[in-house]
Chain A
Amino acid sequence: NAGVMQNPRHLVRRRGQEARLRCSPMKGHSHVYWYRQLPEEGLKFMVYLQKENIIDESGMPKERFSAEFPKEGPSILRIQQVVRGDSAAYFCASSPIPGTYEQYFGPGTRLTVT
């Protein structure tokens, strides 16, 4: 059973470009979570999605960031008009159901904005 997959592993974007980060959850997992890890800071929750639904986006910046988890295909975290402060490691996790079940994390996408 393959683990959570994220691609690309490394992404370099210039200021003002768009960044698209992909996450394929573990087989059988229908809940996806996105976290951001900034340098010298802890892991911060961004958004929680089920198939075709956003359940909790309380950690998402109000502008430029969006996430989706379509019926078919991976979950996508999209950052428009990237700025240097968006440089971070973005992790995706999945679980079979939410709540007290452990979340399995992907290897992360390291975004660098130049």
Chain B
Amino acid sequence: SQELEQSPQSLIVQEGKNLTINCTSSKTLYGLYWYKQKYGEGLIFLMMLQKGGEEKSHEKITAKLDEKKQQSSLHITASQPSHAGIYLCGAEFYGGSQGNLIFGKGTKLSVKP
């Protein structure tokens, strides 16, 4: 079974609209990472969350980690075509190997101009 579930699998939004991507874990997270991948390219680090209830923002992207540290959301405000890509959440778990990130399958975001 997948340890990290992302939803939705894909998302198409009109430019200017807000959107949210979710990442849910079956186990308590030690650290949660959000990455963005453009088709055919590598991953770009966005944010890392570690504390329950933590929230971080970078430009128009906000990521939150719930108090129980089992769910994270990524929120984009006033989306732009440059936000298009695949968003991946990666996690470290308690008792897991250091540095071994488990990834969700990703959410493909398309932004229509």
Contact = CB atoms under 8 A, between A and B. Distances in A.
Q: Tell me which of A4, A45, A58, A98 has the highest count of chain B C-beta atoms within 10 A of its own C-beta.
A: A45
How many residues of B sit at the interface, in one of the four size bands?
A: 20 to 34
B43 A100 contact: no
Contacts of A58: 97, 100
B100 A103 contact: no
Contacts of A102: 33, 45, 48
A75 interface: no
B41 A45 contact: no
B42 A105 contact: yes
B98 interface: yes
B31 A100 contact: yes
A73 to B, nearest CB: 21
A87 to B, nearest CB: 15
Contact of A105 (B45, B48, B92, B97): B45
Contact of B42 (A41, A99, A106): A106
A105 B43 CA distance: 6
Q: Is chain A's interface secondary structure helix, strand, loop, or mixed overall?
A: strand
A107 B42 contact: yes
Nearest to A3: B42
Interface in A71-114: 91, 93, 95, 98-100, 102-108, 110
A56 B99 contact: yes
Contacts of B93: none
Contact of A99 (B41, B99, B104, B106): B99
A102 B58 CA distance: 16
Interface of B: 2, 30-31, 33, 35, 40-45, 48, 50, 88, 90, 92, 97-106
